[in-house]
Homo-oligomer: A and B are copies of this chain.
Amino acid sequence: MKNIDVCLTPDLLHLHNIDNTIVIVTDIFRATSCMVTGFAYGVKAIIPVETVEECQALQAKGFIAAAERNAQKVDGFELDNSPFSYMDEKLIGEKIAMTTTNGTYSISKAKSSAVKVLVGAFLNLNAIVEYLKTQPYDVLVLCAGWKGRTNLEDTLFAGALVDAVQNEYFVAEDSAIMSMRLYQQAKDDMLGYLANSSHIRRLQRLGINKDISYCLQRDLYDVVPVLRGNELVNM
């Protein structure tokens, strides 16, 4: 039987052997929710990069560029980190270079050894589940967290995914069990459940309640972003 496991922050990825594993990176507020939205609206590719400087270099080569640090847009870039900014005709068929505080960092950490790196969000949860059914590999959900710390919303996504596939995968490790139980506790009112979480408070100070509600919607899009070389594309 295949295994599913959860890594609660990229700072714990060293504990996992991912050689034979599909890694699903999630950063619910808001990097992976933006990526999924972008692909659903026709973006051709997203190049996740670690630094603002790399993002500027790609911008100079004609990429549309998106850079977020500490939940805010970096000056001089076209796109911010709101999923609504990715619902734009101008982006159809385009390539986007993107760097964010946590999400793109996690993708970089996973890509060296995983079989495949996918991007997950509540918005494409069922599409991920359906894809995994066709795959023989173990699965690790990598929560992007916040600067190395675990966060509630990414853990809830991990738990939702474990919950959805628990009959097909062996759920051996406590981090996966904990994530699933938190999700089961939260699922009927995720917004209420998250009301006191650290990142919600951080985002509410920035006035983006609309983004929060949007990112918690489930199965809006049938897209599965996958890393091919250095580019994320829709599978």
Contacts and interface: CB of A to CB of B under 8 A. Distances in A.
Interface stretch (A79-87, A117-125, A196-204, A212-220): A196-204
A8 B198 CA distance: 16
Nearest to A9: B12
A178 B149 contact: no
A174 B151 contact: yes
A173 B199 CA distance: 9
Nearest to A201: B172
Given A12-B11, A150-B8, A198 B182 contact: no
Contacts of A150: 8, 12, 174-175, 178
Interface in A1-38: 8-9, 11-12, 14-15
A12 B8 CA distance: 11
Contacts of A8: 8, 150
A198 B174 contact: yes
